[in-house]
Chain A
Amino acid sequence: EAGVAQSPRYKIIEKRQSVAFWCNPISGHATLYWYQQILGQGPKLLIQFQNNGVVDDSQLPKDRFSAERLKGVDSTLKIQPAKLEDSAVYLCASSSSTGSEQFFGPGTRLTVL
């Protein structure tokens, strides 16, 4: 069974630029999460999708972050404009509708200069 796929793996941008990350969850997993992990911290939830609907986006900085999961499979997370403090690893995770175990993709390491 293929795991969660993410791209790109690394991204370096200047502040005020925009960036987008892509995630493809484990096949058949209805629930998809985006987490932000700052160096030395545990991952923190940004947004949760159930199929193509948003379940929880209470911690998403909506003035600059957006996310979508249009067909209930792939998802895209966008930051526009980026700030220095957005430098982090962005992790995508998925879980099945019958289990609470979450499986993480390799992450995208973002550096904002």
Chain B
Amino acid sequence: QKEVEQNSGPLSVPEGAIASLNCTYSDRGSQSFFWYRQYSGKSPELIMFIYSNGDKEDGRFTAQLNKASQYVSLLIRDSQPSDSATYLCAVTPNSGNTPLVFGKGTRLSVIA
């Protein structure tokens, strides 16, 4: 059974701080890793993907991957109230067109 684990939160951070969201996965063969943001009542929106060990930065977002530890994280710098949402971690076994296995998501609340 392939599993993706996330702390459900809520994770509360003050505006302007760094929010750190973590995710572990059970399938050591996983190759592709995604972070989706989901506002309440809306569908998931892709914000980051990472395929190689290390860091990948895009604006205020940084994804970090450590395949040896089966761990992927998302850092949000200068957190804004508009970042308040549920963040879903998802993994796939390869880089092709395969279904995503999602975690339950971490609810982030950025306090103004």
Binding site for B on A (CB under 8 A): 30-31, 33, 35, 40-45, 48, 50, 55-56, 89, 91, 95, 97, 100-107
- The answer on a CB contact under 8 Å between A106 and B42 is yes
Q: Is B69 an interface residue (CB 8 A)?
A: no
Which residues of chain B (94-112) have a CB below 8 Å from chain A? 94-105
- The answer on a CB contact under 8 Å between A101 and B46 is yes
How many residues on the B side are at the interface (Cβ–Cβ under 8 A)? 25
25 cross-chain CB contacts under 8 A: A31-B97, A41-B104, A42-B4, A42-B88, A42-B102, A42-B103, A42-B104, A43-B44, A43-B88, A44-B102, A45-B99, A48-B97, A50-B97, A55-B97, A56-B98, A89-B43, A91-B44, A100-B94, A100-B97, A100-B98, A104-B36, A104-B43, A104-B45, A104-B46, A105-B43
Q: Is B62 an interface residue (CB 8 A)?
A: no
Which residues of chain B (48-97) have a CB below 8 Å from chain A? 49, 88, 90, 92, 94-97
Chain B residues with Cβ below 8 Å from A33 are 99-100
